[in-house]
Structure 1
């Protein structure tokens, strides 16, 4: 990505890396492995010790197992690097509260209600926020039908009206999913 102000000298301070991988299992379920890692480019005094440049400040992992309908059937969490050893990783089985939630149905709000604030780890809870779209992307076109479909298909493709580019009154849907395009008064006037 080009720098915002390329004429200004910059130096790196902090990096947050998110990684989400999705695996199909032989039993028809899917494993979702997500991690969050924070590093600094310089040594940092932290909780009475110096954390060396490049060593993680945070390294946390979540593993979920979901079914084909994207309901969570199991969860495990792990804190490998943390600022406050002996405290940060002591959230117990808090992330078991995700079991039973569906990534497509009110997931982000339910995470905030169940794990926000002192109910969980800020970083693991933030990591949860990227899971719905990452898992949808992993399953799109195979488990989640994203095709135009045949004329007899009663429902619109999954992805329509889920982002600005794929809004049903927009040009992208008019071009690639014309059967599902909703003309607006402006587009009808332009077409005339």
Structure 2
């Protein structure tokens, strides 16, 4: 279902975020996030050639790549800025190597904000870390599930209770994984 019909309007800004998950020949995974911001109008930029960024040219164009194992441990990290509004911007990219050694797991977002918020990072690169982490999870999901099943014999879906649709009491779980379905009881204790 599409969004409702909007009030008459004109486009001013576009942000495109694209993420990719690649399985490497060595069994590790490269996860990449790329962002491009453009304006539909010329933008005054003090440090841009002639002081003006023409409409349609990238104001921000930035990428992050992490390498993870199947436990979602970050083994390597790299960030680059191809387009940025100020000459100093790329000098923070090297700091994103601090992702190395982190694990994409509960607390990841909090930890990345501690490391890269405010003057310790770039707002735009920090914003890419959420979609990057989700892409890592989505890219490796099936393989991690197979490994878990082979090692433990468990077949419980790792996404169980990960969101509203996959709550143990949801109709989707009842239909697809009935052995894990748990009826939701109301406040009186009945279903």
Give the RMSD, CA atoms, in angstroms: 2.2
The structure where helix makes up a greater share of residues is: 2
TM-score between the two structures when normalised by the length of structure 1: 0.86
Contact 1:103 1:131 in 2 (8 A): no
Higher RCO, Cα 8 Å, sep 6+? 2
TM-score between the two structures when normalised by the length of structure 2: 0.87
> How far off its partner does 1:167 sit?
0.8
2:31 alignment counterpart: 32
1:12-31 matches, within 5 Å, as 12-31=11-30
1:174 alignment counterpart: 174
1:14-93 matches, within 5 Å, as 14-47=13-46, 49-84=51-86, 86-93=87-94
Contact 2:66 2:78 in 1 (8 A): yes
Contact 1:36 1:59 in 2 (8 A): yes
What are the ranges of 5 or more consecutive residues in structure 2 without an aligned counterpart? Answer: none
Structure 1 residues 175 and 189: alpha-carbon distance in aligned structure 2, compared to 1, 3 A threshold:
farther
Stretches of 4+ aligned residues off by more than 4 angstroms: none
CA distance in 1, matches of 2:93, 2:176: 48
Q: Deviations over 1:42-88 (max 9, x none)?
A: 1111225111111011001101111111110011110110111x211
1:130 alignment counterpart: 131
CA distance in 1, matches of 2:129, 2:98: 12
What are the ranges of 5 or more consecutive residues in structure 1 without an aligned counterpart? Answer: none
